[in-house]
């Protein structure tokens, strides 16, 4: 989140990063892909990198989003449909009326998880919404006669908030089908959903409420700038009064790093990107992936909860 926030990524850029979620910047219309550390060191040392031109897959999203449904739900739904290897070595392109109207933060969230379908990169054609976020750069358009190896079209008017169940991001169900799943922890943060808009949505749900006494709520703003903005807006106060804990910007427990590592048998709902076995701690712990509204609502009820049950 830090790079685009600092204005270091522009539309039309070629970005190589030593993190699998480098694909996030496709949201700005950059060709952006992850590599390993030796690969990146070689780029730094030689100024060169080899890339195979990938085939493209087009995704067209139509319809109108329901309340509490956003970028996270669309990408989880998509991975659920095509599978965790549905786009291996492919360039994904997100388009259609839903994307045209989708806020920048939601676009980042969607592109962030392209790697969870195996995508090499993802592109959203930069438009007016992009130009509000970043002024400079080359705003390339997709060729009208572009060839796609596959085209998927989804009407997402009826889409409910989506949740990926253990232990794969493609194991996706509607939130309403998981009402019986009790949780021990709710984590709101990460490069997927630690943005200011995510914190605002969570705060709307948690405002004046208390989290379930069995549950730990951990909130990690993605960057220092977001942390400060959330502080000034009073969002952090809402989280604290609800019984949550706020940690300094980092990956936190997303990859089992720190502060919120799951013990044996524990269940976590997280706004992160991966729910592989042992990803957040013990090999016998369980991670469910959702948007920030669902994670906040679930913290209150102590079980996986549709936000409409709270507001």
Partner 1 sequence: MKLKGKAHKFGNNVNTDEIIPARYLNTTDPKILWKHCMEDADSSFASKVKKGDIIVAGKNFGCGSSREHAPVAIKACGVSCVIAESFARIFYRNSINIGLPILESGVASKSIMASDLVEIDLNLGIIKNVTKNEQYKARAFPKFMQKIIAAGGLMRYIKAHR
The CA distances from residue 51 to 54, 174, 195, in Å, are: 9, 37, 31
Nearest distance from residue 83's CB to partner 1, in Å?
9
Site string for partner 1, 135-174 (x = CB under 8 A): ---------------------------------x------
Q: Give the Cα separation of 102 and 153 in Å (integer).
A: 17
Residue 256 makes contact with partner 1 by CB under 8 A: yes
Q: Which of residues 27-46 bind partner 1 (CB under 8 A)?
A: 34-39, 41-42, 45-46
Taking residue 45's Cβ as centre, other Cβ atoms within 10 Å add up to 8
Encoded tokens for 231 = 């502080």
Residue 300 makes contact with partner 1 by CB under 8 A: no
Is residue 262 within 8 A of residue 43, CB to CB? The reply is no
Nearest distance from residue 262's CB to partner 1, in Å?
12
Residue 234 or 283: the one with the smaller Cβ distance to partner 1 is 283
For 146, left (φ over 0), alpha (ψ -120 to 50), or beta? Answer: beta
Number of residues that bind partner 1 (CB under 8 A): 31
Q: Per CB under 8 A, which region of 65-73, 178-186, 192-200, 273-281 contacts partner 1?
A: 273-281
For 260, left (φ over 0), alpha (ψ -120 to 50), or beta? Answer: left
Residue 39 or 153: the one with the smaller Cβ distance to partner 1 is 39
Secondary-structure breakdown of the chain: helix, strand, coil percentages, each rounded to the nearest 5:
35, 20, 45
Nearest distance from residue 257's CB to partner 1, in Å?
7
Q: Give the Cα separation of 228 and 128 in Å (integer).
A: 27
Site string for partner 1, 102-121 (x = CB under 8 A): -------------x--x-x-
Could you list the residues that contact partner 1 (CB under 8 A)?
18-20, 34-39, 41-42, 45-46, 50, 84-85, 88-89, 115, 118, 120, 168, 255-257, 274, 276-279, 283
């Amino acid at each position: 989140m830090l790079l685009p926030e600092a204005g270091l990524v522009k539309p039309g850029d070629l970005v190589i990063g030593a993190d699998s979620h480098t694909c996030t910047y496709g949201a700005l219309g950059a060709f952006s892909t992850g590599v390993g550390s030796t690969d990146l060191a070689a780029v730094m040392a030689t100024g060169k990198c080899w890339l195979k031109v990938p085939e493209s897959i087009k995704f067209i999203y139509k319809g109108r989003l329901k309340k509490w449904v956003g970028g996270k739900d669309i990408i989880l739904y998509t991975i659920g449909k095509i599978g965790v290897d549905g786009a291996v070595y492919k360039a994904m392109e997100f388009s259609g009326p839903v994307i045209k109207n989708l806020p920048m933060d939601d676009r980042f969230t969607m592109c962030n998880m392209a790697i969870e379908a195996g995508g090499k990169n993802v592109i959203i054609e930069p438009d007016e919404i992009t130009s509000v976020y970043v002024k400079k750069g080359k705003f390339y358009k997709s060729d009208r006669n572009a060839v796609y190896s596959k085209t998927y079209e989804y009407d997402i008017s009826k889409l409910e908030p989506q949740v990926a169940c253990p232990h794969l991001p493609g194991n996706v169900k509607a939130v309403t089908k998981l009402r019986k799943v009790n949780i021990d922890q709710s984590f709101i943060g990460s490069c997927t959903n630690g943005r200011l808009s995510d914190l605002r949505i969570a705060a709307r749900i948690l405002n004046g409420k208390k989290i379930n006494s069995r549950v730990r709520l951990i909130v990690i703003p993605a960057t220092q700038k977001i942390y400060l903005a959330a502080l000034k807006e009073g969002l952090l106060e809402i989280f604290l009064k609800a019984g949550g804990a706020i940690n300094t910007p980092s990956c936190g427990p997303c990859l089992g790093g720190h502060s919120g590592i799951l013990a044996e048998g524990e269940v976590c709902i997280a706004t992160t990107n991966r729910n592989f076995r042992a990803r957040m701690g013990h090999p016998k712990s369980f991670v469910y992936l959702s948007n920030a509204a669902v994670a906040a609502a679930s913290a209150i009820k102590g079980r996986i909860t549709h936000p409409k049950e709270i507001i």
